[in-house]
Structures are given as C-alpha cells and as structure tokens.
Homo-oligomer: A and B are copies of this chain.
Amino acid sequence: MTSVITLLTDYGSDDGFVAACHGVIIGIAPQARIIDVSHQVPAGDIRRGAAILAQTLPYLPPGVHIAAVDPAAASARRSVAVEAGGHVFVGPNNGLLSWAVLASGGARAAYEITNEALFLTPVSPTFLGRDVYAPVAAHLCNGRKPGDLGPELPLDHLLSLPTPTARRGEGAVEGEVISLDHHGNVQLSVTADDLTALGVRLGDILAVSMGRRQITMPFRDTYAAAPPGNLVAFTDSAGRVALAVNSGDAGQRLGLPPGAHVRLARVADGWTQLEV
C-alpha cells in the first residue's frame, strides 16, 4: 500500500480541525505522507469539492484520498470507501467522490465504512473526518484492505453528481460553468477539443452567450495574452476552456455562478482579428 494520504475538506484553516486529522493519521501511521488538497471548499459545497478533487487527482500519487464535505453531516448519509484506478477514496456517499472516481476510470469496488474497531470513539457526528475518515485511511496505509472497513456496497448504490456536459451543435458548443477558481477564472465544461471540433483556432474571436447576454472575447493560449482588464478565453490547466480577465476577476465581471449555462460560437477568425 502507498503511504500517501490526501485530505480535501471544508474545515478552513482558522481552527485546529485539519491538524486534528493530521494528528490522528500520524498517531496511527507515522510513515504516512499527507498532502492537503484544499481545506477551503465553501462550507457544504459538494460540487466545488468534487471539482477540485477530480482536477487535482491526475497529479497526486496513488494513495488514500479523504474527502469531507457534507452539508448533511453524518445524519443522513453513509460513509464509503471506493476503489478506483489504484486509489482508494474515503468520504460520504453524497456525490463528493463521484467525479474523482470517474476520472480514475470508475469504481472497481465500494465498501460501507462500518467497522467501528477502526474508528475513534465516541464518533462525533459532526466530525467524521477526524473520527472515521482519518483513522480508517491510516489503517489502510498500514496495510488494512478496503474490505476490512465494512460490507461491500453494490456500485449502483454510490451516489453521483450529474457530470457537467458539453454539447457540440451546429456552429456552436453549449456547456456550463464548473467552478470559479482563486483568480476568478470561470471554468467551463467545454474542452479545448470541443472548440477545435468547432474550427476555432488560437486568435479567433468567440461569441459567449449567457442567458440573454452575449459578449465577445478572443481565444488565446493564456489569459496573459489579453491586455490587462480585458476578457479572454483560454484552455486552462485542466484542459477546460476558461473565461478570464487578465489581472482581473472574470467571475465577478460576468456574474456567472457554477452550473450556469453558456454557449460558445466563433464569430471571426484570427486573420480578421489581426486586421482590426
């Protein structure tokens, strides 16, 4: 078993909550190498947590990945361990793990986490990260098998978030906002491949329709290719098309929340742009 354990939560960094998880892990598995994926997921924002985990995953070593974002706390949902692509994901069965599992090639097996002998007891219902996920991940790190955690769960009992989709149409591609990052870049479900299929090349001008509004911006290789303060579309580090403002905040400028519907079309090619 790998010695890498990663942590994604909405605990924030003000309190000692993350440190408690680290302490529990190190107390059980001193050899564990811990990577903090993020603890700044907005409270209870399953979708945002799922997006961060799935997009960071390709760069994380094989390991046990703890994710703890659950607006319903432990009251309603069972905890699961999911094996996928050399990884084990540990967290609530509320869709949070689903995009990362998908990005790992889909679930090979899933288990309910019910073996209290591996928990810190009494379990605080509002802090499963510390009392269930952390010790369970540490035990996996020490050689325990996912099957030791509890009974196998049929894969169709795993809850999934709807996968953001992009639909290629006649002269346009439609998609939705996946998330807004720290720099205010608006990440779309549309990929660079979708734009290529549309015939869009670097330098072309895109028409971006959001509800009744329409706005144009160039498609460039980076946000830095636009003059400061200007809107630009580019392929972000996850391979998705993102809308950005160079040295600015596109999320704020465009007012596009996660899930918002967006339509991209080509209105002019790079040659035209060069003539302008």
Residues of A whose CB lies within 8 Å of any CB of B are: 4, 6, 8, 11-17, 19-24, 26-27, 30, 33, 35-40, 43-44, 52-53, 55-56, 59-61, 70-76, 120, 124-127, 130-131, 181-183, 221-225, 234-237, 247
* 8 Å CB contact of A55 from B12, B16, B38, B72: B16
Contact A52 B222, beta carbon cutoff 8 Å:
no
**Given the complex, which residues of B lie within 8 Å of A72, measured CB to CB?**
224
* 8 Å CB contact of A124 from B60, B70, B236: B236
**Given the complex, which residues of B lie within 8 Å of A17, measured CB to CB?**
56, 181-182, 237
The residue among A21, A76, A182 with the most chain B CB atoms within 10 A of its own CB is A182
Closest chain B residue to A16 by CB distance? B56
* 8 Å CB contact of A15 from B4, B182, B224: B182
Query: Shortest Cβ distance from A50 into chain B, in angstroms?
Result: 11
The residue among A33, A37, A126 with the most chain B CB atoms within 10 A of its own CB is A126
Query: Shortest Cβ distance from A166 into chain B, in angstroms?
Result: 19
Contact B22 A35, beta carbon cutoff 8 Å:
yes
Contact A38 B16, beta carbon cutoff 8 Å:
yes
Contact B36 A124, beta carbon cutoff 8 Å:
no
Query: Shortest Cβ distance from A78 into chain B, in angstroms?
Result: 14
**Given the complex, which residues of B lie within 8 Å of A131, measured CB to CB?**
237
**Given the complex, which residues of B lie within 8 Å of A4, measured CB to CB?**
26
Contact A247 B74, beta carbon cutoff 8 Å:
no
Closest chain B residue to A40 by CB distance? B14
A53 to B120, alpha carbons, bound, how many Å? 19
Closest chain B residue to A28 by CB distance? B61
**Given the complex, which residues of B lie within 8 Å of A14, measured CB to CB?**
38, 40, 181-182
Additional A-B contact list (8), CB under 8 Å, known A14-B38, A15-B38, A15-B52: A15-B182, A16-B55, A19-B56, A20-B59, A23-B56, A27-B60, A125-B221, A126-B237
Closest chain B residue to A27 by CB distance? B61
Query: Shortest Cβ distance from A39 into chain B, in angstroms?
Result: 7
**Given the complex, which residues of B lie within 8 Å of A61, measured CB to CB?**
23, 26-27, 30
24 cross-chain CB contacts under 8 A: A4-B26, A6-B23, A8-B16, A11-B182, A13-B13, A13-B40, A14-B38, A14-B181, A14-B182, A16-B52, A19-B35, A19-B36, A19-B37, A19-B60, A20-B56, A21-B59, A23-B35, A23-B56, A27-B59, A30-B33, A43-B183, A73-B223, A126-B234, A127-B237
